[in-house]
Amino acid sequence: MASNNGSAGKWEVVKKGKKSNPGGGKSGGGNGGRKALGESNQPSRPPMKMSETLFDGFEKVGKKQNKEQVPPPAEPQNKKPSSNKASKKSQPSNTNTPTTYRSLEEAFKALDIGDLKQQLAYSQSLFPDNPSVWVKDLAGYLNLKLTAPDNEPTLSSHAHDYPYCLIGKELRGVIKGLIGRCSNILPDFFDYCVSTMLRELDKQPGEPLHGYRVCIQAVLLDKPKIATQRLSEYLELLRSVQNRPVKCLTIMWALGQAGFYDLSQGLRVWLGIMLPVLGIKSLSAYAIAYLDRLLLLHTNLTKGFGIMGPKEFFPLLDFAFMPKNALSPSLQEQLRCLYPRLKVLAFGAKPESTLHTYLPSFLSRATPHCPDDMKRELLSSMTECLCVDVQSLGVWRQLYTKHLPQSSLLLNHLLKSWNALPPKLRKNLEETIQSFRVTNEEMKDTNESQDLQECNSLCQVR
């Protein structure tokens, strides 16, 4: 059978019966653990050992003692295979240089699905207990046949499900059918597709990667959680190749596909690998464009509740409102447009029991000298905390003495909008302000600051 041996577009004859692997383990279709994700530009980083790729891992678990072996180097095309199993009929029909199509649509139309079925059937007959070989052959075949220009790693000018959306009904059935039979090794297959794409990017010129993209989308369509199982390792990989923007964007694109089928997984991907690199100029535009597309696609935000908390939310607030940060003004404006929906996601399903956990970070940022737009947002958010979550007043009392300038700002805002506040909040605020008066008196002898004087004056108004 044609096994692509990790090099897209190079199909090789697999010969059976050769006892060249006396120490190989038995093949049972298991995965034996997911291997390293790709090659790193920083070999000194111990967590990601890049000398052993996922392809190597698949080949190791795919061996069967005295029965199966890693395919040998490609034989000349004019040399007949020595195994009578590898007949002319069962060999790939694409031993010559494949046609390059003007568009991916043309490549899909030209794809011989009958030939694909034949190759997959042959792969399964040769390796009946090793589904990792089946799916690798699927990816290799598709990548070899879908030879259309592939110049932009994020496919940002296309629909979110491109190129999978171009697949016809029959081909979709073949892919889904095979993947459905290989569910236990799909996490490894996903990693294999990503690592192979990264490896191809090291080649000059590299080959198109449409086949691997299709397989990634097909896997995540039914099992989007696969993309978030190793986010910390993918972040480490991303950072190790951050001087290679195309590789970084390829990783971000691959993991991000999960979000188009599951909002919660898309948010995990964004917070796990895109937010940490938001300050990197070459990656920021795609990170925000992805978030924009994700939130546009999923209008029902309730499915994303519980993913984002204060730890994740406040860096976003700072990026959206703080001037002269790592984002360009245009990207900052895009993020600010998304901010209200991010705030809804962060506050979650039960804001009445969670908003008090946000108040400390809102309060600490509300300095008299913070930008006007940010100040308005902070005061509005703190008012919401006090209105919705009754525990917020208690939190403010605890923080009062450490945040006198900010408390002065908040007190002034509340007093100016007093008549618009809910009656219950006004009653609770009167009790809180009374406790502040007592605190102010106790601090008079030890603190003569202007901030304390301002707070004391405001407390006398009610």
pLDDT single digits (tens) 228-241: 999 999 999 999 99
pLDDT of residue 49: 36
The reported pLDDT for the residue numbered 60 is: 44
pLDDT exceeds 70 at position 103:
yes
Compute the average pLDDT of residues 432-443.
92
Lowest-confidence region among 94-98, 108-112, 272-276, 442-446: 94-98
Q: Which pair of tokens denotes residue 38?
A: 């790709």
pLDDT tens, residue by residue, 281-304 = 999 999 999 999 999 999 999 999
Query: Residue range 359-371: average pLDDT?
Result: 95
* Position with higher pLDDT, 83 vs 333: 333
pLDDT band at 262 (very low <50, low <70, confident <90, very high): very high
Picking from 83, 28, 37, the residue whose alpha carbon sits closest to that of residue 57 is: 37
Burial of 359 (0-12, 13-18, 19+ CB in 10 A): buried
Give φ, ψ of 112 to 5 degrees: -90, 100
Q: What is the pLDDT of residue 56?
A: 43
Q: Which residue has the higher pLDDT, 155 or 461?
A: 155
Q: For residue 5, what pLDDT is reported? A: 41
Looking at residue 163, its pLDDT comes to 96
User: pTM for the complete prediction?
Assistant: 0.78
The mean pLDDT of 412-426, rounded to a whole number, is: 93
Query: Mind listing the pLDDT tens digit for each residue in 386-404?
Result: 999 999 999 999 999 999 9
Average pLDDT rounded to a whole number, residues 13-39: 42
Sign of CA dihedral 329, 331, 335, 337: positive
Let me know how long the chain is: 462
Q: Percent of the chain, pLDDT > 90?
A: 69
Give residue limits of the domains in the chain.
1-222, 362-462
Q: In the 3-class helix/strand/coil scheme, how is the chain assigned residue by residue?
A: CEECCCCCCCCEECCCCCCCCCCCCCCCCCCCCCCCCCCCCCCCCCCCCCCCCHHHHHHHHCCCCCCCCCCCCCCCCCCCCCCCCCCHHHCCCCCCCCCCCCCHHHHHHHCCHHHHHHHHHHHHHHCCCCHHHHHHHHHHHHHHHCCCCCCCCCCCCCCCCCCHHHCCHHHHHHHHHHHHCCHHHHHHHHHHHHHHHHHHCCCCCCCCCHHHHHHHHHHHHHCHHHHHCCHHHHHHHHHHCCCCHHHHHHHHHHHHHHHHCCHHHHHHHHHHHHHHHCCCHHHHHHHHHHHHHHHHHCCCHHHHCCCCCHHHHHHHHHHHHCCCCCCCHHHHHHHHHHHHHHHHHHHCCCHHHHHHHCHHHHHHHCCCCCCHHHHHHHHHHHHHHHHHCCHHHHHHHHHHHHHHHHHHHHHHHHHHCHHHCCHHHHHHHHHHHHHHHHHHHHHCCCCCCHHHHHHHHHHCCC
- Mean per-residue pLDDT, 427-454: 88
Predicted local confidence at residue 24, as pLDDT? 38
Distance between start and end Cα atoms, the chain = 84
Q: If pLDDT is split at 50, 70 and 90, which confidence band does 43 have?
A: very low
Asked whether the predicted pLDDT for residue 85 surpasses 80, the reply is no
What is the average pLDDT score of the chain? 83
Question: How many other C-beta atoms lie within 10 A of the C-beta of residue 279?
Answer: 14
Q: Cα 52 vs. chain centroid, distance in angstroms?
A: 23
Contacts of 101 (CB under 8 A, 6+ apart): 107, 110, 147, 148
pLDDT in tens, 116-149: 999 999 999 999 999 999 999 999 999 999 999 8
pLDDT of the residue at 207:
84
